[in-house]
Amino acid sequence: MIARLSDENQHFVDRQLAAGRYASAEEALNAGVDMLRRQELLDIIDEGRRQLDEGEYTEYDEEGLHRRLQELHERIDAVGEEREQQGVS
């Protein structure tokens, strides 16, 4: 993959390399993508907290939880089968 950065971002990466923070531009870009992934996860956690605070959740007894988990397993299996049929790994 070839990534084209804005001039501002390219200068920033160059400064990071010159400062020895990263060994290569690829390493710096991977660090940036890792940060984006972490931020996405934090956003998901924040949304979950918001939902809990606002009462947007379902309580399950043991039997209901077992049924719900079974439904999720069936959905996962169905998606796996679809992907397998499509030749997607």
How does pLDDT run across 19-74, given as a tens digit for each residue? 999 999 999 999 999 999 999 999 999 999 999 999 999 999 999 999 999 999 99
Same domain, 53 and 25: yes
Confirm whether 75 is domain-assigned.
yes
Domain interval for residue 38: 17-57
- Are residues 71 and 78 in contact, defined by beta-carbon separation less than 8 angstroms? no
Q: What is the pTM for the complete model shown?
A: 0.65
Confirm whether 11 is domain-assigned.
no
Half-sphere exposure of 28 (CA within 13 A, CB side): 19
Same domain, 75 and 64: yes
Same domain, 26 and 37: yes
Confirm whether 87 is domain-assigned.
yes
Nearest to 13 by CA among 4, 2, 25, 1: 25
Based on the structure, what is the number of domains in the chain?
2
- Are residues 89 and 83 in contact, defined by beta-carbon separation less than 8 angstroms? yes
